[in-house]
Structure 1
Amino acid sequence: MPLTPCPICQKPVPPRPENTSQPFCSRRCRAVDLGRWLGEEYRMPDRQAEQQEDELPPDGETRRHDA
């Protein structure tokens, strides 16, 4: 079975019994990933914002609320 690449440096990652930093290749890459999360470089999608964007009218059009 081929080794999977490290998500940080792309080096092959040994299986868990040989590597306690799984899914990363080393403690360094694991720390880099944590730093990226803490530095807000990674973001989870905001489903509510996506839904609100879907509700907006196309550019150039305005909604009229005639009563």
Structure 2
Amino acid sequence: MSTKIIKTVKCPTCAKPAVWNKEKNPARPFCSDRCRLIDLGAWADESHRIADATPPDFDPDGSSNH
């Protein structure tokens, strides 16, 4: 007798458990397509963004008058 462990992860949008299985949950790591689209919308309206490490006074051309 073997028991199969079903791996679940926390949905990044709503924090509900989401099954980590391609056949049972194609929206993974999200729990549903709705949560997946909410996350996509947050990236589109720039609510989610990756911080820029470039200093604000950086001049890529080197032509600043410091």
The normalised TM-score by structure 1 is: 0.66
Tell me how many residue pairs correspond in the alignment: 51
Flag as ranges the 4+ runs of structure 1 deviating above 2 A: none
Listed as ranges, the gaps of 5+ residues in structure 2 are 59-66
The normalised TM-score by structure 2 is: 0.67
Q: Which has the higher contact order (CA 8 A, sep 6+)?
A: 2
2:29 matches 1:14: no
Q: Which structure's CA Rg is the greater one?
A: 1
Distance 1:28 1:49 in 2: 37
Structure showing the higher helix proportion among its residues: 1
Once superposed, what is the RMSD of the aligned Cα atoms?
1.8
